Amino acid sequence: MNKKVKVQVTDLTKRFGDLLVLDKVSFEVYEGEFLCIVGPTGCGKTTFLNSLTHLYEPTSGKILFNGEEVNLEKHNIAYIFQEYSAMEWLTVRQNVRFGLEIKKDYKNIDRKVDEALELVGLTKFAGYYPKQLSASMLQRVVIARAFATHPELLLMDEPYGQLDINLRFKLEDEVVRLCKQTNTTVIFITHNIEEAVYLGDRILVLTNKPTSIKEIIMDELPHPRDIAAPEFVEMRNRITDLIKWW
């Protein structure tokens, strides 16, 4: 099967002074693929994502998006950070509108905002300010803002770390469903191996610093995945063995 390469990373290297964080990382992500990246805590997963998006300038290496240099103003990329990044001075609705306004995407803007709010279950809270919301609601605002823009590439950096388990399952399922439906390419960073096996089409396992790729694992278990199924447990154990740091 000929898959279109959406993101091509070649020899990505990042140094902070003498500290080598990323060491010649190369891989590609295919269109519509859900790629999970797992690695030991503190291995530089976030640095990896920030270098990928030029929020940190990589020391060397090349990153191509649709065969071009990444250009955040041109390419429709959304990033959901580990910490909440809701604008405190905007209501929930205005926060979700924000991304569309930045992209000057005013066509059906209210409908898109309503759909995104509905998706994360925040319709009733549209007029609230972030300071009135709980931690999990704040993260849902950010998820809604990202989805409202219908990104071509969605980067998620441990986005569900602060959410309670029920909501986490619900949003994980919703994200997979939505990404498959809209053919969105996703790079999802997590330290939760079970989450990676549950969500990913492929799982990229990183080594400890300096970070490089230890193994790329195909995850072809059928959706929706059963976390108690023997194949699921087997894959989880295999990855756990790969990233053992103790």
Partner 1 sequence: MRHNYGKIRVVLYGAGTFLVLLSLWQIAAMTSNSEIGFPTPVAVIGRFFHMLSNKVGSYTIWGHTLWSLSRVVIGYLLACVLGVVLGLTMGWFPYVKALFKPVFDLLRPIAPLAWIPLAILWFGIGEKYKYFLIFIAAFVPFTLNSYAGAVRVDRQLIGAARMLGASHSQVFFRIVVPSAVPSIFSGAQVALSNAWMTMLAAEMVRSSEGIGWLIIAGQGINDMTQMIAGMLAIGIVGFLLANGMRLLERRCLVWNNQGK
Q: Which residues bind partner 1 (CB under 8 A)?
A: 50, 53, 55, 72-79, 81, 83-85, 87-91, 98-99, 102-103, 128-132, 142, 145, 149, 155
Residues 6+ apart with CB under 8 A from 86: 92, 95, 130, 133, 138, 141, 142, 145
Tokens of 242: 């790969």
Q: Which is nearer to partner 1, 108 or 237 (CB)?
A: 108
How much of the chain is in helix, strand and coil states, percent to nearest 5? 35, 25, 40
* CA 145/CA 96 separation, integer angstroms: 4
Give the nearest distance from C-beta 215 to partner 1 in angstroms. 28
Give the nearest distance from C-beta 226 to partner 1 in angstroms. 34
Give the nearest distance from C-beta 95 to partner 1 in angstroms. 10
Q: Which is nearer to partner 1, 106 or 245 (CB)?
A: 106
Structure-token match 């005013």, residue found: 106
Give the nearest distance from C-beta 12 to partner 1 in angstroms. 18
Q: Which is nearer to partner 1, 18 or 73 (CB)?
A: 73
Q: Which is nearer to partner 1, 81 or 232 (CB)?
A: 81
* CA 224/CA 242 separation, integer angstroms: 25
Give the nearest distance from C-beta 87 to partner 1 in angstroms. 6
- Cβ neighbour number for residue 120 with a 10 Å cutoff: 24
Q: Which is nearer to partner 1, 103 or 209 (CB)?
A: 103
